[in-house]
Amino acid sequence: MDNGHETVAPHDQALKTSDPQAAAVLMVFGARLHRYCPLLWLYVHESRENFLRNLENRDQCKPVSKRIFNFQNDTIPATEITKAIEKELEALQAELELLLAGLDRGLANQLRDCVSKLIARSCKEALVKRNELAHLIENMPETAKWDYVKGFGKRFVQMGRNSSAELRAHYLSKL
């Protein structure tokens, strides 16, 4: 599912996603946002020159805003859930029907009803969790956000939005 967002499987004790819908689903399954850094907000500048032009005039060379939700790794079976999120709904339904095919028709219908109820309730819960994430986004102060400046190749610098001119000059000289 390529919607401009990415969900990264766990590594180094963190599960990260830039997809707010996936983040809400992970929360429905019990994922807990990272205690100290639940949200990383980056302004991605394509080059040092674009960053400097944007500093002079915020209307020029506007950076791309990227929000990354960070979860504690040990709270859910993340690999299975991220695979399910990215799978097509029809494929998941076909999997369920394959499992139900060997059961008594009455029991299979009861299980379908139960799964439907679980899905309906989970959808409602996902919307509640999405609202929690929206609240987190809306209340993040500008001073807690970061500038991410791309350099040549894989080089980049990342610095706080409220960094001093001296600190910016120091980091930008590394590119």
Express each pLDDT in 117-133 by its tens digit.
999 999 999 999 999 99
Q: Which domain holds residue 137?
A: 7-172
b/e per residue, 1-27, with b = 16+ CB within 10 A? eeeebebeebeeeebbbbbbbbbbbbb
On whether the CB atoms of residues 108 and 97 are closer than 8 A, the answer is no
Least confidently predicted of 2-6, 100-104, 165-169: 2-6
pLDDT surpassing 70 at residue 3: no
Neighbours of 76 (CB within 10 A): 20
Domain membership of residue 1 (yes or no) is no
pTM above 0.85, yes or no: no
Q: What does the mean pLDDT of the chain come to?
A: 89
pLDDT surpassing 50 at residue 31: yes
Domain membership of residue 80 (yes or no) is yes
- Tell me how many domains the chain contains: 1
pLDDT surpassing 70 at residue 4: no
Express each pLDDT in 95-116 by its tens digit.
999 999 999 999 999 999 999 9
Domain membership of residue 132 (yes or no) is yes
pLDDT score, position 19: 92
